[in-house]
């Protein structure tokens, strides 16, 4: 793995040092979902189920190297279980197999709360450290069974490193102003996300923390995209 590259994506034509942070745009929890046919009705029960199956359990994500994939690997490591990763091209095809019971666990985006509430799948937990306002009925993984587990999905704006500070400040101010608009916030709520602006410095600190958090997970799981 090239340490200056994002994660282990060695084919990317840029490194972290090539980017300048502008602002965080939104945050969101991920969801742990199981088919209704699953014997697990809680995170603790799923961990017990996975230990009983001894490596025969599968988990789905929308692709290799995605945050849901990394979240599943972190869950495996902290819970002390074995699962086989099954990558899909997006949440939707993974959901089809989860509903059908062909997948034991799916780690999906927060927009999939509607599938939980409609009864198509069973929700076990959210991945953030605490319960989420987007799905207050679900416990966090940390609360339920794995202390210290904390994964937050997020989107942000970055620009090329050589961009002038004046342009960065302009993009930052305009974006944060838009994110404060009630209609914009409502649109984010509708897709299971929380509009959340930040300063460039706050985004830089978040990126550093996330990089330090995920590099050991990527290394231990031998994840690489070539």
DSSP secondary structure string for all residues of 27-94: EE--EEEE-TT-S-SSHHHHHHHHHHHTT--EEEESSTTSHHHHHHHHHHHHHT---EEEE-SSHHHH
CA dist list (Å): 204 to 14, 67, 210: 17, 18, 10
> What's the pLDDT score for residue 205?
96
Q: Are strands 105-108 and 58-61 parallel, antiparallel or unpaired?
A: parallel
Domain spanning 30-144 has what CATH number?
3.40.190.10
DSSP lists the bridge partners of residue 19 as: 160
Rounded to two decimals, what is the model's pTM?
0.88
Q: Where in the chain is the domain with CATH 3.40.190.150?
A: 16-27+152-221
Residues 6+ apart with CB under 8 A from 166: none
Measured distance CA(119)–CA(5) in Å, rounded: 41
Measured distance CA(160)–CA(105) in Å, rounded: 38
For residues 31 and 116, the answer to whether their CB atoms sit within 8 Å is yes
For residues 70 and 152, the answer to whether their CB atoms sit within 8 Å is no
For residues 174 and 34, the answer to whether their CB atoms sit within 8 Å is no
Q: Where in the chain is the domain with CATH 3.40.190.10?
A: 30-144
CATH superfamily of this structure's domain 16-27+152-221: Bordetella uptake gene, domain 1 (3.40.190.150)
Measured distance CA(95)–CA(121) in Å, rounded: 9
CA dist list (Å): 184 to 71, 114, 179: 28, 20, 6
Measured distance CA(172)–CA(203) in Å, rounded: 11
Taking the chain (226 residues) in runs of 10, the rounded mean pLDDT of each run is 38 75 96 98 98 94 94 97 96 95 95 94 96 93 96 96 96 97 93 91 95 93 77
């Amino acid at each position: 793995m090239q340490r200056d590259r994002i994660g282990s994506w060695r084919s990317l034509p840029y490194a972290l040092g090539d980017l300048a942070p502008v602002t965080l745009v939104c945050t969101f929890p991920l969801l742990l979902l199981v088919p209704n046919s699953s014997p697990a009705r809680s995170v603790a029960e799923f961990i017990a189920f996975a230990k009983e199956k001894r490596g025969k359990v599968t988990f789905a994500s929308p692709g290799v190297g995605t945050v849901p994939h990394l979240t599943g690997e972190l869950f495996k490591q902290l819970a002390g279980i074995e699962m086989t990763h099954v990558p899909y091209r997006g949440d939707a095809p993974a959901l089809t197999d989860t509903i059908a019971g062909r997948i034991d666990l799916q780690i999906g985006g927060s927009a999939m709360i509607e599938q939980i509430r409609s009864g198509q799948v069973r929700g076990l937990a959210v991945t953030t450290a605490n319960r989420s306002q987007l799905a207050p009925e679900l416990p966090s993984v940390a609360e339920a069974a794995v202390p210290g587990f904390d994964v937050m999905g997020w989107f942000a704006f970055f620009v090329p490193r050589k961009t002038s500070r004046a342009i960065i400040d302009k993009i930052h101010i305009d974006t944060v102003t838009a994110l404060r608009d009630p209609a914009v916030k409502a649109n984010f709520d509708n897709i299971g996300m929380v509009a959340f602006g930040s300063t460039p410095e706050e985004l830089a600190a978040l990126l550093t923390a996330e990089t330090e958090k995920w590099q050991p997970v990527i290394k231990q799981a031998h994840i690489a995209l070539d």
